[in-house]
């Protein structure tokens, strides 16, 4: 009977499913027995109780009497904040370094090559710890802070940069947001084409109403050095700055290699072909070279961006409270380890799936459409 | 027959000054550096950057540094790096808290692993005998590190430094390789339950940061397992690294499997080979050859990733560096120590990367 391929496949699959269920059941019973033995309660009720944990810095406001769920949100916001900045910085720098590596200038290409090799061959955690140890060696005490650019100060206590502060009224912001949404629908939705002009008028009206009621104001908050302290501006602590600089250096190395590969993948024949069609240099770049390059670059770039989110967990090495560090504190403080682990797994999977599905959507848009 | 006189120029060449070759190369590099406006701008920009950064770095690294003087006071006085600290503490940095009298054992283990790695990267030694060699070496390594049979026993909690990094890398990849092959085959299986199981496993592991997997392994395993079966910290980290490496290796191997044309399967079926023999004799040898460069890259990633085990309290290179820095007799030269540790990792992964380049240039290996 087992010689029949169909029967055999059904038997194997049933066996596998049974083994998985059996292992899961065994794990669950042992876990519950262990939890009971140690008197650990289980359930997500603890999330609404005051956490009393310390989060040393956060971009959202946090006080230690806030509930656990807010501590988690604050940690997640820190992770997203680091990841977004590192992705933005290293994309720009990676583009520059990658293209410069292809330059005929040996000085420029060589310097960029050293950067790429160092980034690609050292563990990011060692890079972060090394940079963190340099902080107090290289930078002066706050009293004689470096002032390389107007409004930018660097000292042992971190960077201080000018901050842009937006002031906007809630109702006005909501109206502007609604105008944006309506505008987006009018622009994209082809099935509503008949109502396009009405929607355009509606968008304009909403936008005007929103701007009128919003009391919109942007002010630049310039830091002022008062001899022992700074007034105004945005302070970046040594921990945050180390992570941003370190991860940017690291990720730039990888993105530069991706960009270089992308440029090299478009053959010189494509340039010749474009020139023979009478296109200008910028037209060739915009219409022929860049679209083909993007096709090669996007998939590896996407996995690099996901790596940035994953590498942001290394913040723990310098003591910056990212999501994983906050969760670790919560788990050791509340002893709700099972729930904590499920939250960790769920959040990272959700973050990375969101990123990769966004990239896949974009990838499908630029992929070759073969007819 | 008429002889054809070749137009060999017998005329003396214009007198070449001894510095002519130098002048020519100078002209060439001048053209490269200042040939176009863009190149000139780049040269000035990068030249200025190097002039600003290199001399202070050089002063700190070498000129103002304490190189050999084993006196902590010299380091306090100097404005440069304190390399004598690295020299004085090299045993502790490399081997962590391993008993001092027994340090020859981890040293031997490191040499053994590095020698074997060097031996294994030669394409000529890729034979089934290599596996036997590694298996023997592994038994030897465990005996040397752990003791027993005539050697003093050393528990894994006092293993540390470079051998921990090397053992974790080698063993994790060694176990993850067959597991990765199984996962890759499962993901391409026609049986839906098997395929879905493999996809869920691979994608969830790849969607998670290694640190979170290490945390889960150190937090959850004590809860999952009955107390008697609980592995120690070293084995827990090893399990996490192996799970992580398996998922990544599975995807690399799947790439190789996809590159095998259908005709190979059909030929094997025509010979009447059953599934496992088809895979073992026909498909896998070709598939793995195709992806050797990608495998080498994954191994580099794993070498770098083992540095993360410090956050679950394992005594790897970074933690032993931190422990050495805690000595109050020295001025705590943290930057030098981490530069040294970074250099070790750089050496390991850079040499492996050059090897991967060599494989890539050689093209897909064929028998």
Residue B1 pLDDT > 50, yes or no? no
**Do A92 and A183 fall within a single domain?**
no
**Do A284 and A139 fall within a single domain?**
yes
H and E: helices and strands count for chain B = 17, 0
Is there a domain that residue B277 lies in? yes
Chain B residues whose CB is inside 8 A of the A340 CB are 219
The string of pLDDT tens digits covering residues A252-281 is 999 999 998 888 888 888 889 999 999 888
Residue A209 pLDDT > 90, yes or no? no
Is there a domain that residue B208 lies in? yes
Is there a domain that residue B88 lies in? no
The string of pLDDT tens digits covering residues B109-162 is 989 988 888 887 777 777 778 888 888 888 888 888 887 777 888 887 788 888
Q: What is the pLDDT of residue A252?
A: 95
Among the partner-chain residues A17, A107, A133, the one whose CB lies closest to the CB of B334 is: A133
The average pLDDT across A304-331 equals 90
Cβ–Cβ gap B193/A13 under 8 Å: yes
Is there a domain that residue A56 lies in? no
Chain A residues whose CB is inside 8 A of the B227 CB are 34
How close are the terminal C-alpha atoms of chain B, in Å? Answer: 53
Q: What is the pLDDT of residue A308?
A: 93
Among the partner-chain residues B46, B192, B318, the one whose CB lies closest to the CB of A111 is: B46
CATH of the domain at A358: 1.10.3720.10
Among the partner-chain residues A103, A310, A341, the one whose CB lies closest to the CB of B216 is: A341
The string of pLDDT tens digits covering residues B169-200 is 888 988 998 999 999 999 988 888 888 989 88
Residue of B nearest to A309 (CA): B209
Chain B residues whose CB is inside 8 A of the A344 CB are 212, 215-216
B contact residues 84-103, partner A, Cβ 8 Å cutoff: none
Residues B125 and B119 sit within 8 Å (Cβ to Cβ) = yes
Is there a domain that residue B177 lies in? yes
Residue B365 pLDDT > 70, yes or no? no
Cβ–Cβ gap B209/A122 under 8 Å: no
CATH of the domain at B317: 1.10.3720.10
Residue of B nearest to A356 (CA): B207
Q: What is the pLDDT of residue A125?
A: 92
Residue of A nearest to B32 (CA): A105
Chain B residues whose CB is inside 8 A of the A34 CB are 222-224, 226-227
Q: What is the pLDDT of residue A3?
A: 67
Q: What is the pLDDT of residue A352?
A: 87
**Do A259 and A324 fall within a single domain?**
yes
Is there a domain that residue B219 lies in? yes
Is there a domain that residue A232 lies in? yes
How many structural domains comprise chain B? Answer: 1
**Do A211 and A307 fall within a single domain?**
no
- Better pLDDT: A216 or B283: B283
Is there a domain that residue A116 lies in? yes
Q: What domain range includes position A189?
A: 169-215
How close is the nearest chain B Cα to the Cα of A123, in Å?
5
Residues B285 and B127 sit within 8 Å (Cβ to Cβ) = no
Q: What is the pLDDT of residue A249?
A: 95
**Do A152 and A262 fall within a single domain?**
yes
The string of pLDDT tens digits covering residues B313-349 is 788 888 888 888 888 888 878 888 899 999 999 998 8
As a three-state string, the secondary structure of chain A is CCCCHHHHHHHHHHHHHHHHHHHHHHHHHHHHHHHHHHCCCCCCHHHHCECCCCCCCCCCCCCCCCEHHHHHHHHHHHHHHHHHHHHHHHHHHHHHHHHHHCCCCHHHHHHHHHHHHHHHHCCHHHHHHHHHHHHHHHCCCHHHCEEEECCEEEECCEEEECEEEEECCHHHHHHHHHHHHHHHHHHHCHHHHHHHHHHHHHHHHHHHHHHHHHCCEEEEECCEECCCCEECCEEECHHHHHHHHHHHHHHHHHHHHHHHHHHHHCCHHHHHHHHHCCCCHHHHHHHHHHHHHHHHHHHHHHHHHHHHHHHHHHHHHHCCCCHHHHHHHHHHHHCCHHHHHHHHHHHHHHHHHHHHHHHHHHHHHHCCCCC
**Do A128 and A202 fall within a single domain?**
no
Q: What is the pLDDT of residue A97?
A: 92
**Do A210 and A272 fall within a single domain?**
no
Q: What is the pLDDT of residue A216?
A: 64
Cβ–Cβ gap A126/B345 under 8 Å: yes
The string of pLDDT tens digits covering residues A197-208 is 777 788 888 888
Chain B residues whose CB is inside 8 A of the A316 CB are 211, 311
How close is the nearest chain A Cα to the Cα of B60, in Å?
11
Is there a domain that residue B190 lies in? yes
Residue B84, classified by CB atoms within 10 Å of its CB into exposed (0-12), middle (13-18) or buried (19+), is buried
How close is the nearest chain A Cα to the Cα of B249, in Å?
16
Q: What is the pLDDT of residue B21?
A: 75
**Do A174 and A128 fall within a single domain?**
no
Question: Average per-residue pLDDT in chain A?
Answer: 83
Cβ–Cβ gap B215/A106 under 8 Å: no
Q: What is the pLDDT of residue A76?
A: 92
What length does chain B have? 367
Cβ–Cβ gap B197/A338 under 8 Å: no
The average pLDDT across B100-105 equals 84
Q: What domain range includes position B275?
A: 99-362
The average pLDDT across B91-108 equals 85
**Do A158 and A175 fall within a single domain?**
no
Is there a domain that residue A48 lies in? no
**Do A25 and A152 fall within a single domain?**
no
Is there a domain that residue B245 lies in? yes
Residue A169 pLDDT > 70, yes or no? no
**Do A152 and A175 fall within a single domain?**
no
**Do A233 and A278 fall within a single domain?**
yes
How many structural domains comprise chain A? Answer: 3
Residue A49 pLDDT > 90, yes or no? no
B25 lies within 8 A of chain A by CB:
no
Q: What is the pTM of this model?
A: 0.82
Chain A residues whose CB is inside 8 A of the B299 CB are none
Q: What is the pLDDT of residue A190?
A: 66
Is there a domain that residue B94 lies in? no
Cβ–Cβ gap B226/A34 under 8 Å: yes
Distance CA A361, CA B189 (A): 27
Q: For residue B193, what is the DSSP state?
A: H
Is there a domain that residue A324 lies in? yes
The string of pLDDT tens digits covering residues A85-134 is 999 999 999 999 988 888 888 888 899 999 999 998 899 999 999 999 88
């Amino acid at each position: 009977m087992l010689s029949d391929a169909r029967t055999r496949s059904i038997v194997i699959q049933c066996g596998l499913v049974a083994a998985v269920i059996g292992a899961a059941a065994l794990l669950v019973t042992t876990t519950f027995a262990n939890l009971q033995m140690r008197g650990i309660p289980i359930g997500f009720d603890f999330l609404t109780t005051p956490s009393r944990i310390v989060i040393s810095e956060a971009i959202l406001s946090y006080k230690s009497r806030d509930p656990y769920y807010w501590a988690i949100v604050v940690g997640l916001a820190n992770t997203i904040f680091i990841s977004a900045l590192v992705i933005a910085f290293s994309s720009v720098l990676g583009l520059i370094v990658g293209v410069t590596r292809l330059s005929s200038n040996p000085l420029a290409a060589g310097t960029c090559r050293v950067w790429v090799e160092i980034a690609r061959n050292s563990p990011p955690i060692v890079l972060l710890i090394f940079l963190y140890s340099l902080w107090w060696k290289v930078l002066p005490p706050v009293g004689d802070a470096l002032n390389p650019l107007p409004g930018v100060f660097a000292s042992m206590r971190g960077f201080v940069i000018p901050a842009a502060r937006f002031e906007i009224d809630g109702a006005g912001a909501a109206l502007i947001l609604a105008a944006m949404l309506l505008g987006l629908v009018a622009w994209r939705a082809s099935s509503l084409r008949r109502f396009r002009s009405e929607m355009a008028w509606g968008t304009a009206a909403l936008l005007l109403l929103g701007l009128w009621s919003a009391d919109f104001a942007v002010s630049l908050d310039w830091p002022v050095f008062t001899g022992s302290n700074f007034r105004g501006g945005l302070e970046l602590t040594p921990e945050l700055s180390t992570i941003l600089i370190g991860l940017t250096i690291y990720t730039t190395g990888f993105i530069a290699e991706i960009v270089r590969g992308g440029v090299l993948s478009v053959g010189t024949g494509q340039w010749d072909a474009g020139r023979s069609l009478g296109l200008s240099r910028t037209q060739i770049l915009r219409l022929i070279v860049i679209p083909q390059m993007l096709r090669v670059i996007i998939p590896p770039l996407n996995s690099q961006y996901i790596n940035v989110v994953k590498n942001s967990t290394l913040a723990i090495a310098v003591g910056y409270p990212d999501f994983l560090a906050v969760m670790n504190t919560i788990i050791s403080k509340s002893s709700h380890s099972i729930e904590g682990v499920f939250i960790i797994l769920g959040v990272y999977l959700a973050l990375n799936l969101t990123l990769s599905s966004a990239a896949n959507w974009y990838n499908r848009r630029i992929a070759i459409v073969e007819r | 027959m008429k002889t054809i006189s070749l137009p060999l120029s017998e005329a003396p060449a214009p007198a070449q000054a001894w510095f002519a070759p130098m002048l020519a190369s100078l002209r060439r590099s001048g053209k490269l550096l200042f040939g176009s406006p863009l190149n000139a701008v780049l040269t000035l920009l990068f030249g200025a950057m190097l002039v600003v950064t290199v001399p202070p770095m050089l002063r700190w690294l070498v000129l103002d540094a304490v190189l050999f003087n084993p006196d902590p006071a010299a380091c306090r006085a100097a404005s440069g790096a304190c390399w004598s600290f690295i020299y004085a503490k090299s045993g502790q940095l490399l081997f962590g808290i391993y008993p001092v009298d027994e340090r020859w054992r981890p040293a031997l283990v490191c040499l053994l692993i590095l020698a074997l790695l060097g031996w294994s990267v030669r394409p000529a030694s890729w034979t089934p005998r290599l596996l036997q060699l590694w298996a023997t070496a592994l038994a030897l390594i465990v005996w040397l590190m752990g003791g027993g049979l005539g050697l003093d026993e050393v528990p894994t909690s006092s293993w540390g430094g470079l051998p921990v990094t090397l053992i974790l890398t080698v063993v994790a990849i060694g176990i993850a390789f067959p597991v990765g092959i199984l996962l890759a085959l499962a993901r391409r299986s026609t049986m839906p339950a098997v395929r879905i199981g493999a996809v869920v496993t691979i994608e969830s592991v790849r969607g998670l940061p290694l640190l979170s997997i290490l945390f889960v392994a150190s937090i959850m395993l004590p809860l999952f397992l009955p107390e008697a079966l609980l592995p120690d910290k070293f084995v827990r980290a090893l399990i996490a690294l192996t799970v992580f490496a398996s998922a990544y290796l599975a995807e690399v191997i799947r790439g190789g499997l996809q590159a095998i044309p259908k005709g190979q399967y059909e030929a094997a079926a025509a010979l009447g080979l059953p599934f496992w023999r088809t895979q073992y004799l026909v498909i896998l040898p070709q598939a793995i050859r195709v992806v050797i460069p990608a495998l080498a890259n994954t191994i580099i990633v794993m070498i770098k990733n083992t540095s993360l085990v410090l956050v679950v309290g394992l005594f790897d290179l970074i933690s032993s560096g931190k422990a050495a820095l805690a000595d109050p007799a020295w001025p705590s030269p943290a930057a030098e120590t981490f530069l040294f540790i970074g250099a070790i990792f750089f050496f390991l992964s850079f040499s492996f990367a050059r090897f991967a380049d060599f494989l890539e240039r050689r093209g897909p290996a064929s028998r």
